Structure 1
Amino acid sequence: MPIEVDVNLKPYNSFGLPATAHRLVRIRSAADVRRVVDHPKLGRAPKFVLGGGSNIVLTKDVDALVLKMEIPGIRLLEERADAWIIEAGAGVPWHQLVQWSLDEGFPGLENLALIPGTVGAAPVQNIGAYGMEIKDRLDSVAVIDLVTGRSVLLPASVCKFGYRDSVFKQTGFGGLSGKSVITHVRLRCPKPWRPVLGYLELERKMAETATPQPTARQIFDWICEIRRAKLPDPAVIGNAGSFFKNPLVSAEQCRDIIGRDPHIVHYPMPDGSIKLAAGWMIDACGWKGKAVGGAAVYERQALVLVNRGEARGAEVVTLARAIQESVYGRFGIRLETEPLLF
């Protein structure tokens, strides 16, 4: 099992931030994880799991042993009367899996098209977009304990999914952050397929194209077009996607904010809470296009912070904290970051 030393992590995080991994092991199978756990020196070392690096902000070098997840493979695991169950390795790019599922005739993931990152990281963050989250399609997750090396298949019901949250991200009692690593993910594509619509941008596409009953492929193409129009490609401009969570508030809180800012964009949720558009609030505070060093707020979408050149992690964090203080001062809302600040 090769151990790489002093590895440059700039190519391995979508923000393109400079950092060095003092030790790195490439994980290409579940057996590789067990080899690390059983290793006389590496087994007890702190671990840092790295997938596509699309949800982290590196502010320093990584002293922990970096497990670079590169487990490949996608397959149809089982066809049931009510669903297709597909399995993918943790190292597979998420968008590649969505494309594969459509090409093979297993629709159901199209609303999650073009989300950056790897399959193994998707349940950690409970990725979501356009009316769908991965929890809506997750069947189970194959996990290995980083202390014992024991393999467990966890059903979706025990993953404690929340808004951009899961048991894999939680550190308290019962949380699995830093204690386990995901090797494979199994997803459930329901039969018969039904489109997930309702988002304003999708309704506009339906109207523009006179397509009241779009296919899964049409929804996939629309979402790719929408995302490319407003979000920067990490291969061109370094970024970690949406940097802040859309805050959830009570109906009473929302009425109070609307009283002060009648135009604030907000969405009622099924549980009675209200989701506020963080990007709108950041834009309203005048942050669009502003920069701290090489870190800046994207001109087309205030929810996204970008690397304009040689940005450092500390500059990204400074900009993010300034935005948080500004939004709190105007709206009384403390924005939470989506990516892990390391």
Structure 2
Amino acid sequence: MQLQFSENISLKPYNTFGFEVKAKYLIEINQVDQLKALIKSELWIENKHLILGGGSNILLQRNFDGLIVLNKLLGINVLQQDDSSLIVRAGGGENWHEFVQYCIAKNWGGVENLSLIPGTVGAAPMQNIGAYGVEIKDVFHSLEAFNLKSGEVETFTADDCKFGYRESVFKHELKDQYLIVAVQFKLSKPNAHQLKLDYGIIKQTLAEKNITEPSIQDISEAVIQIRQSKLPDPKQIGNSGSFFKNPIINKQQFEELLKEYPSLPAYRISDEEMKVAAGWLIEQAGWKGYDENGVGVHDKQALVLVNKGNGSGEAIAELARKIQDSVYSKFRIQLNPEVNFVI
């Protein structure tokens, strides 16, 4: 199979921060047979490589002296169904939000709370993306992943993926060893929708619209409205959404902090653990709206680091380190990036 590569290509369109960095080589993958040919090629063997989906959760700090592989594997189809649910398979290169909207148009429930999250279907389980009370693991059935060493397509169950908070086996033990070909989701039919309305801001937004019996479409529209009010559009100002994970601390530490900071927002994970709002911590540490070296902290949501137009990945990385040190000094809480750093 003939493979077509681009050389010395700008990655600005392929990362939502919009950093002007270049890759030595780039190839788009549209079918699995291309992958089989690719891993046998000299270009693959002789160069380091990086797989990109939507480029929405990645920090490119400098030019990439190697091969960028763009996952463009597409297609959505129903594999099986019964009276109340169905298994839907989506290609790893599908745009995540467009997939969600496709499901809503078909009245398939389960992913509506995950509307407007940037990225691709293939990246979703890698990060175990989540928002407003729902994570990928809640609707996950299985995935197909191409082994970049053996050339075989392997199936992973939820247990195989080892999902955690914005974590999976593909970020740790199996990092850079697989390309996710497709993901299968278990979604609900209209007679079996189980709406997730635990987050007060969703209830509030629906109430403002005088919606008392919401549909999955209503929830999706509410989530989109909420996200647009809080998070900047990467097309307008470069960013990767939430830069840090919301930290999880033990109950004792939370109760001690609450004495000094009564308004500290948190969500109970278990009897012994609380998830604390990272954006609140960053704002309280004085970083909201901060600006330096062409990068900064968004003035509406402190959890979002932004490229003001002439910044660099290295400047974002340095700003992130300063924020981590500042928050730890003030609260004794370690912030960990949600974004993947590429050096």
Question: Structure 1 counterpart of 2:187, which letter?
Answer: C
Residues in 2 aligned to 1:139 and 1:9: alpha-carbon distance in whole angstroms? 33
Q: Would you say 1:303 and 2:303 are equivalent positions?
A: yes
Residues in 1 aligned to 2:255 and 2:296: alpha-carbon distance in whole angstroms? 32
In structure 2, the residue matched to 1:100 is 102
Q: TM-score, normalised by structure 1?
A: 0.96
Q: Would you say 1:234 and 2:234 are equivalent positions?
A: yes
In structure 2, the residue matched to 1:149 is 151
Residues in 2 aligned to 1:26 and 1:311: alpha-carbon distance in whole angstroms? 27
In structure 1, the residue matched to 2:312 is 312
In structure 2, the residue matched to 1:341 is 341
Residues in 2 aligned to 1:9 and 1:41: alpha-carbon distance in whole angstroms? 19
Q: Secondary structure at the match of 2:197?
A: coil
In structure 1, the residue matched to 2:86 is 84
Within-5 A mapping of 1:218-297: 218-270=218-270, 272-297=272-297
Residues in 1 aligned to 2:228 and 2:300: alpha-carbon distance in whole angstroms? 11
Within-5 A mapping of 1:55-74: 55-74=57-76
Residues in 2 aligned to 1:330 and 1:41: alpha-carbon distance in whole angstroms? 48
Q: 1:258 to 1:63 in 2, by over 3 A?
A: same
Is contact 1:9–1:20 with CA below 8 Å preserved after alignment?
yes
Question: Structure 2 counterpart of 1:333, which letter?
Answer: I
Number of aligned pairs? Answer: 338
Question: Structure 1 counterpart of 2:303, which letter?
Answer: L
Q: 1:152 to 1:228 in 2, by over 3 A?
A: same
Deviation at 1:152, TM superposition (A): 0.7
Is contact 2:206–2:222 with CA below 8 Å preserved after alignment?
no
Q: Would you say 1:138 and 2:136 are equivalent positions?
A: no
Q: Secondary structure at the match of 2:55?
A: coil
How much is the aligned-residue C-alpha RMSD, in angstroms? 1.3
Residues in 1 aligned to 2:20 and 2:113: alpha-carbon distance in whole angstroms? 32
Q: Aligned match of 1:124 in 126, 139, 164?
A: 126
Within-5 A mapping of 1:147-186: 147-170=149-172, 175-186=173-184
In structure 2, the residue matched to 1:188 is 186
Question: Structure 2 counterpart of 1:184, which letter?
Answer: A
Is contact 2:24–2:64 with CA below 8 Å preserved after alignment?
yes
Residues in 2 aligned to 1:30 and 1:271: alpha-carbon distance in whole angstroms? 45
Question: Quick check: 303-312 or 67-76, which moved more?
Answer: 67-76
The runs of at least 4 consecutive aligned structure 1 residues that moved more than 4 Å come to none
Identical counterparts, % of pairs:
40
Deviation at 1:134, TM superposition (A): 0.5
Deviation at 1:233, TM superposition (A): 0.6
Q: Secondary structure at the match of 1:204?
A: helix
In structure 1, the residue matched to 2:20 is 18
Residues in 2 aligned to 1:319 and 1:42: alpha-carbon distance in whole angstroms? 34
In structure 1, the residue matched to 2:206 is 206
Is contact 1:43–1:147 with CA below 8 Å preserved after alignment?
no
Question: Structure 2 counterpart of 1:259, which letter?
Answer: K
Q: What whole-Å deviation, never above 9, does each CA across 1:103-132 have from its counterpart, x for those lacking one?
A: 122122100000001111111111000000
Q: 1:49 to 1:195 in 2, by over 3 A?
A: same
Is contact 1:60–1:313 with CA below 8 Å preserved after alignment?
yes
Q: Secondary structure at the match of 1:78?
A: strand
Residues in 2 aligned to 1:90 and 1:221: alpha-carbon distance in whole angstroms? 24
Is contact 1:36–1:43 with CA below 8 Å preserved after alignment?
no
Q: 1:41 to 1:341 in 2, by over 3 A?
A: closer
Residues in 1 aligned to 2:225 and 2:43: alpha-carbon distance in whole angstroms? 48
Residues in 1 aligned to 2:199 and 2:37: alpha-carbon distance in whole angstroms? 46
Q: TM-score, normalised by structure 2?
A: 0.95
Q: Secondary structure at the match of 1:188?
A: strand
Is contact 1:248–1:274 with CA below 8 Å preserved after alignment?
yes
Question: Quick check: 116-125 or 63-72, which moved more?
Answer: 63-72
Question: Quick check: 232-241 or 254-263, which moved more?
Answer: 254-263
Residues in 2 aligned to 1:273 and 1:48: alpha-carbon distance in whole angstroms? 35
